[in-house]
Copies of this chain bind each other. A is one copy, B any other.
Amino acid sequence: MSNRNTPDPSTPKSGSPPPAAEETKSDSPAPEKPDAANKDDPPKESSPPATEQAEDPGEESNSDEGPKEMTLDMSCFRKPGEKTFTQRSRLYVANISPDITEEEFIQLFAKYGKTEEVFINRERGFGLLRLETRILAEIAKAELDGTLVNNRPIRVRLASHGATLKVRNLLPVVTNELLEQAFSQFGPVERTIVITDDRGRPTGKGIIEFANKVAARKALERCTEGALLLTNTPCPVIVEPSEQFDEEDGLSEKILPKTPRYYKEREQQPRFAQPGTFEFEYASRWRALEEMEKHQKEQVDKNIREAKEKLEQELEAAKHEHQLMLMRQDLMRRQEELRRLEELRNQELQRRKQIEMRWVQL
């Protein structure tokens, strides 16, 4: 593994000064802009203004050399309740040599713990396998991606999840656990997440990762035909197929095919369009379209939001109406009861009278 970086000799040395060092200085005006300052907050709580860090250089950095290697207790890599050997911890390994044996392939990952569902396609030079947890898969990717195996730099990626659904329209009281409870009825669930913002506030959106496609299809179909309700308020969860995106490695020059169009488009360097030029005019028209799109979508959102608020009010009104009806029925029952008691009393009075009369006759 020592030749980790040989494929790319341009890799900077670890000792290089961190760009982050520039931040504290250039960031100092931030506190003047509260909106921007807020964005710097850590999740779920607010953080110190940048200046606090700047004022205390003593806390800036701990510059002694770090260790060259580390030993990890693998039993720590399991979140409470985390499922193991899921599709989330599945690795896709490309550019493996056709003559690699399954043993050699598995051996590559031996140090990361047990492997499952190992698959090798030698013709197309790739393999798949699962490790116990996601973090183990991420560590294996970080260590092995680009290393030479049989003199080929292998490419290691986290494979995309094949049975994921997106959910929307979740009330703020819905949690990961409630989602799992609700969706387990369709089949084995690997992971359910209520997406939160950088302050830990729920966004109303969520992710359901099933163990297989059959369960995912079933959930999608049943929740599209029927209305799955998670809480008291009858607002149904909206379930949609989920696309997978890569925001980790992205598109690098190395892997982009160099087509004629590539060379044509890349003739010019990045630049700002100069007013009065041919391209400035067209750029402006592009932007006008983008603006229009943004505006129109905001309009749709506004309309739908208002319609939903109206619907919620109607729901509230209907609930009150319902309660009123119950109260009326209750009142009628009581009146009926009263009438019956009156009846009995009269009968009792009658009987007394008759008894008294008999006494008089004696």
Contact = CB atoms under 8 A, between A and B. Distances in A.
Given A128-B47, A232-B268, A251-B194, A78 B11 contact: yes
A62 B71 CA distance: 24
Interface stretch (A212-220, A326-334, A335-343, A352-360): A212-220
B70 A74 contact: yes
Interface string A114-150: 1111111100101010101101001100110111000
A100 interface: no
A36 B68 CA distance: 45
Contacts of A16: 84
A127 B90 CA distance: 33
A271 B237 CA distance: 11
B198 A61 contact: no
Which bracket fits the contact residues of A?
35 or more
B114 A62 contact: yes
Interface in A78-128: 78-81, 83-87, 92, 94, 102, 106, 110-121, 124, 126, 128
A297 to B, nearest CB: 6
A229 B273 contact: yes
22 contacts: A18-B86, A23-B211, A26-B211, A27-B213, A39-B213, A42-B126, A60-B118, A62-B118, A70-B112, A72-B72, A76-B143, A175-B251, A178-B270, A182-B270, A227-B283, A229-B268, A229-B283, A232-B267, A232-B268, A235-B283, A282-B311, A297-B300
Given A43-B157, A66-B132, 13 more contacts: A19-B84, A26-B212, A40-B213, A42-B159, A45-B126, A50-B213, A59-B119, A60-B118, A61-B115, A69-B71, A175-B252, A234-B278, A289-B308
Nearest to A201: B251
A231 interface: yes
Contact of A40 (B62, B83, B162, B200): B162
Contacts of A272: 222, 226-229
Contact of A135 (B7, B78, B138): B138
Interface string A22-39: 111011011001001001
A222 B133 CA distance: 43
Contacts of A36: 162, 213, 217
Contacts of A146: 80
Copies per assembly: 2
Interface centre among A2, A226, A278, A303 (most CB of B within 10 A): A226
Contacts of A214: 26-27, 29-30
A200 B251 contact: yes
A285 to B, nearest CB: 6
Contacts of A39: 160, 162-163, 213
Given A70-B111, A286-B169, A117 B162 contact: no
A58 to B, nearest CB: 8
Interface string A1-20: 11011011011101010111
Contacts of A47: 92, 119, 121, 126, 128, 159
A279 B234 contact: yes
A8 B81 contact: yes
